[in-house]
Amino acid sequence: MNQLVLQSIKKELQTALNTYGHPFRYFTCGTIASRTPKQRTVVLRAIEEDFKLIFYTDRRSAKVEQLRNNSTISALFYHPEKKIQLLFTGNATIVTETKELQKIWTQLSDKAKKDYTTKKAPGSTITPTDDIDYLSDQNFFCQVEIETITLEYLKLTNSQHQRIQFTKQNGGWESLLLVP
């Protein structure tokens, strides 16, 4: 049964990649900055083998610096209609220069590219009269890959909630039923 749950999770995440408005398209990403948890919403861009999650960001962003100092990361998804919560924890890798990343960059729309070409880094202070300037000859596009170590599944139901923790071990996924 637990393997069926894993398969359904993967299918739901893959559906989110191609379905406008799917609740798993956006997730809350948690990092650590000087012992303080930091969270933000990011966009799921890909899911690979063993639940490797991928999102894009500006390599000057605070989350990238936080991940360089401590690669521990969490990803929290919630589907309000199905009442399913997924919590992934693992380690992040920052990918900045690959042929595949360059290919992704060339396929982005001009509007999307603007997110990675501001003259000032994300989170920089501005005044109400400041214009946000963009670079035309440089970008700060990068990819964050989350290597999942544990995955926690919580299904809320009217009768009895179901909670399962999956841990990557020995090339597979070990599962434990938990009290919800």
DSSP bridge pairs for 74:
30, 89
Number of domains in the chain: 1
Structure-block tokens of residue 11 = 């299918």
Average pLDDT over residues 144-159: 96
pLDDT at residue 159, as a whole number: 87
Q: What is the CATH number of the domain that holds 38?
A: 2.30.110.10
pLDDT at residue 171, as a whole number: 86
C-alpha dist (Å) from residue 132 to 36, 114, 162: 29, 10, 47
pLDDT at residue 17, as a whole number: 97
Question: 81-112 pLDDT, tens per residue?
Answer: 999 999 999 999 999 988 999 999 999 999 99
pTM of the model: 0.94
CB pairs under 8 A, 24+ apart, for 109-113? Answer: 113/139, 113/141
pLDDT at residue 135, as a whole number: 93
C-alpha dist (Å) from residue 128 to 47, 116, 125, 132: 39, 21, 10, 11
149 pLDDT above the threshold of 90: yes
Q: Tell me the residue range of the domain where 84 lies.
A: 2-178
Question: 7-59 pLDDT, tens per residue?
Answer: 999 999 999 999 999 999 999 999 999 889 999 999 999 999 899 999 999 99
